[in-house]
């Protein structure tokens, strides 16, 4: 799987990049929070697991989503749009989240191509941690004063 992601990353060109933004956030966010809301979004889309009669079910993803929506509405709206784009479009999608100072970045990768390597039925969505020191160093260098999170979205 790692080889597939690296091959895809190496083929990225500037025309593949849909969005790069560095955020100054007023609330703490962890990679686990992002994974939780992404997995919940995927689950609701594919398995129709929406709660009946209520918009808030009290699960961890809802709590994170509400916290982000209240404290970081622009960021919350951007990631919702990116997640929706990743789910509804057939194209490959790569979303990178990098928290300043971390030694790794979170990649949310959507591609049908790697599914041929699995014998079991899987959705085309993968969470992967990027630990390449050169990439992390490059991301760190681009932060401006007060910025804490880098978000990059690519699709082909």
Which region, left, alpha or beta, applies to residue 58 given φ > 0 means left and ψ of -120 to 50 means alpha? left
Q: Taking the C-alpha atoms of 60, 63, 65 and 67 in order, what is their torsion angle to the nearest 10 degrees?
A: -140
Model pLDDT, residue 81: 92
Model pLDDT, residue 8: 65
Model pLDDT, residue 149: 96
| CB-based contact 125:113 (threshold 8 Å) | no
Q: How many CB atoms lie within 10 A of CB 28?
A: 10
Q: How many CB atoms lie within 10 A of CB 61?
A: 18
- Residues in the chain with pLDDT values less than 50: none
Model pLDDT, residue 85: 86
Model pLDDT, residue 93: 82
Q: Is the pTM of this model over 0.85?
A: no
Q: Where are the domains of the chain?
A: 1-155
Tokens of 81: 């749009």
């Amino acid at each position: 799987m790692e080889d597939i992601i690296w091959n895809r990353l190496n083929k990225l060109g500037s025309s593949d990049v849909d969005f790069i933004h560095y955020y100054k956030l007023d609330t703490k966010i962890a990679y686990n929070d992002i994974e939780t809301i992404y997995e919940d979004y995927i689950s609701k889309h594919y398995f129709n697991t929406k709660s009946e009669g209520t918009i808030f079910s009290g699960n961890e993803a809802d709590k994170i989503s509400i916290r982000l929506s209240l404290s970081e509405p622009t960021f919350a709206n951007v990631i919702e749009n990116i997640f929706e784009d990743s789910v509804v479009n057939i194209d490959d999608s790569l979303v990178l989240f990098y928290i300043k100072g971390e030694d790794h970045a979170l990649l949310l990768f959507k591609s049908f191509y790697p599914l041929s390597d699995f014998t079991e039925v899987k959705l085309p969505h993968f969470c992967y941690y990027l630990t390449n020191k050169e990439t992390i160093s490059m991301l760190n260098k681009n932060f401006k004063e007060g910025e804490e999170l880098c978000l990059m979205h690519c699709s082909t």
